[in-house]
Amino acid sequence: MSFAVVAPELMRVAASDLANIGSTLSAANAVAAAQTTAVQAAAADEVSTAIAALFGWHAQTYQSLSAQAASFHDQFVQTLASSGTSYWSAEATNVEQTLLNAINAPTEALFGRPLIGDGADGQTVNGVGQAGGDGGFLWGNGGNGGYSTSAGVAGGAGGSAGLFGNGGAGGTGADADVSATNGGAGGAGGNAGLIFGFGGAGGTGGSGINSFASFGGDGGAGGNSYLLGAAGAGGNGGVGLGTSGFGGTGGDGGQGGLFGNGAAGGLGGQSTDGDGGSGGSGGRAGILYGDGGDGGDGGAGRFSSGSGGAAGTAILAGNGGSGGNGASSTATSGDGFGGFGGIGGTGGLFFGNGGDGGNGGDGFDVANGGGWGSSGGSALLFGDGGAGGNGGAGGGQGANGGLGGLVIGNGGNGGIGGAGDSGNPAGGQGGNGGGAYLIGNGGWGGVGGAGDGTGDGGDGGSGGDGGGCSATAVTAPRAAPAQQPVGPAAMAVTLGSSATAATALTEVTVPPTVPAVPAAAAASCSDRTAAMADSPQRRADAGEMCPDC
């Protein structure tokens, strides 16, 4: 066997020299072209003209051949230069790999894990997805989990990173068959690097089969993060098949570490003719700063749809996540129930808004078929409460808004009630607005849902209490409100037995009375604050201590 010895640096020098030669030839040909391609005849006779034309034709032919030769020369130079670069890269790679092998040998011998380098992806062995390898202790990404093909077997977990790197994604679970009627769960995502990195996403669950009580596989949980970075999203639930099949539950989102957001939960699996799966819960936020993850939406089903997942909460600073939405029923005949919304996440202790509650899904032609919305998350010290979720059609109730922060913050608005339908003619009740504590406005009450034909509309929700010690409430008297129109009934009450009021058919304007504000209102407001601080709702007797705050 023969061997070729190549010096990449000499190849690059040769390519440079050849390029210079080509440039010189091209310049010489360009100078000669002007003098040779258009030769003037020596005389006006036919012989002189023919000789001049012959020389010009030869010059043009030479220039054409020179252009082709220059093109070949350029291609040869480029090939030589790229070959030298390839040889150089190969040598550098070999040196790097040799160095890495020497560095990684001790840790691989002791722990079966390199110091620097990515973990290997998990393979499929006898139908079973294997776990991905962990990344290097110092640097490297975790390998992805293998997907399973043997019926009902879970996918492989993703490998975790070391100090720096991303976790690997979880593998997909196998679909079900007659030997295993439930789909396999998705593999969990690998954790992020201890200092920096992103968690791996959870794997998707396998599908069920058209069999009694067959379940789609649950989605895998997302990988967590640690110091800096973000967590991995939860995997989606597998699809349920058949008239009694159930969609799989979505995987939970990974949790944040010190700084970073929690991840969203996976979607619930759909069901073609049965019940949809619930969405996964959102991950908790990082301890010092970060937002909670959103809950996953529920999967749609014909008879009963999946509910949304609960949102992740913030810890010290950050916003709570939004709850997942309940899915609507896919029924076109018979009964169908919508899924409930997921609860909104709580805001951070020092500052942060509560997350919105998830909306309920629409029902179909059944009493109480509309899914209820879920309550908005509350703020703690500084921040606004989240809005309550809306109810689904079919009389689903709107949810209450979250409470505003103890110091400053507005209450969240109540959710809107779901409209009535043929199975549940009455509209759903609107949610109550969240209250404020010291400084802030209460949330609006949610509008009641409209009735359907013979059904009544739902009651609207109550507005939330305003803050007890806002600057307007304690430092200045209320401004005189504008004169209000009063209808016949109210006028009769206001003016007693007046015959004019009792028989009036048009509105009149009555100037309202403006109450005076006691001078001691500001002084007594601190007492009222102390009375309210231990309760999430306003004290009934607080108005006695500070009647005009």
- Residue 9 scores a pLDDT above 90: no
SS3 49: helix
Q: What residues pair up with 125 in beta bridges, in sequence order? A: 128
**Closest-CA residue to 409 (of 282, 273, 546, 536):** 536
Structural domains in the chain, sorted by start? 8-96 (1.10.287.850), 518-549 (no CATH)
3-state secondary structure 453-522: CCCCCCCCCCCCCCCCCCHHHHHCCCCCCCCEEECHHHHHHHHCCCHHHHHCCCCEEECCCCCCCCCCHH
What is the residue whose two structure tokens read 């950050």? Answer: 318
- Residue 475 scores a pLDDT above 60: no
| Average pLDDT along the chain | 82
pLDDT of residue 17: 76
For residue 360, what pLDDT band results from cuts at 50, 70 and 90? Answer: very high
pLDDT of residue 212: 76
What are the tens digits of pLDDT across the range 66-118? 788 878 878 887 887 787 777 667 666 666 777 778 888 888 888 888 889 99
Considering the entire predicted model, what is its pTM?
A: 0.69
- Residue 538 scores a pLDDT above 70: no
133-137, 243-247, 528-532, range with greatest mean pLDDT: 133-137
What distance in Å separates the CA atoms of residue 451 and residue 48, rounded to the nearest whole number?
107
Instruction: Over range 214-218, report the average pLDDT.
Output: 94
What distance in Å separates the CA atoms of residue 174 and residue 94, rounded to the nearest whole number?
39
**Closest-CA residue to 307 (of 361, 350, 347):** 361
Instruction: Over range 203-231, report the average pLDDT.
Output: 93
SS3 32: helix
Pair of tokens at residue 203: 């794997």
**Closest-CA residue to 201 (of 162, 236, 229, 161):** 236
**Closest-CA residue to 252 (of 272, 241, 230, 267):** 267
Name the residue type at position 219: G
Taking the CA atoms of residue 361, residue 366, residue 367 and residue 368 in that order, the dihedral angle to the nearest 10 degrees is: -10
What beta strand segments (E) does 131-288 contain? 196-198, 228-230
